[in-house]
Amino acid sequence: LLVISEQPTTEAIYSPTYSQPVDVTKQVNVVSAEFEIDEKFSVPSDERNYTVKIEEIEKKVFYQYYCAPRFNTDVFLTAQMTDWESLSLLEGQANIFFEGTFVGTSLLDAKFVGDTLDISLGRDKRIVVDRVKEKEYSKYKVVGNEASKSVKWLISVKNNKDVPINLILEDQFPLASDSRIHIETDEVQNA
């Protein structure tokens, strides 16, 4: 269970199953982590699923937003965690909760992670990005054997949150596969 929250929480996290915290003793070996449950826990014999919370860790993370509006104008949020190696996380499926809400599952694969662990928190609909082609600047001109085409895109970002965000916004300039085609980029303002 990996809980990412902006503020510490003492409440139980919502899940579709019944969850109860228990006292455990953690032993870290060279290749594994072992949790011994220190108290008895009864599981009722009904048809519901039950989970036992054996450990909850609070860790400061850096929130990074990302958008590539040429492909998708949705803004994606990731939590970047440093010093994650000290948590003894095991590889496997992780349920991700953010601000008390289940946002999805992710595969934790420590073999391909560097010094920062990136955890996807999904789309954030409170950040709105728009990419519009400005028609008055889009023009096509032919002079002799040469043709010229000018295109201008306007990308706008609106932050509907109460706090500033860190957003990486990537767009694409066209590339020519024909050596007779030359591409020039005008000055990009406010970027």
pLDDT of residue 1: 45
Alpha helices in the chain (DSSP H): none
Q: How many CB atoms lie within 10 A of CB 124?
A: 19
Q: How many CB atoms lie within 10 A of CB 117?
A: 21
Question: Under a CB-based contact definition with an 8 Å cutoff, are residues 148 and 184 in contact?
Answer: no
Helix (H, G, I), strand (E, B) or coil at 78: strand
The CA distance from 45 to 32, in Å, is 31
pLDDT of residue 189: 72
55-108 tens-digit pLDDT: 777 788 899 999 999 999 999 998 888 888 777 777 778 888 777 788 888 877
pLDDT of residue 10: 39
Structure tokens at 59: 């860790």
Residues of the chain with pLDDT under 50: 1-3, 5-17
The H-or-E segment that residue 94 falls in is: strand 92-98
Closest to 147 in 3D by CA, of 176, 124, 168: 176
The CA distance from 7 to 58, in Å, is 9
**What length does the chain have?**
191
Closest to 108 in 3D by CA, of 138, 129, 84: 84
pLDDT of residue 76: 92
Residue with tokens 């409170």: 126
Question: Under a CB-based contact definition with an 8 Å cutoff, are residues 103 and 121 in contact?
Answer: yes
Q: How far is CA 23 from the centre of its chain?
A: 31
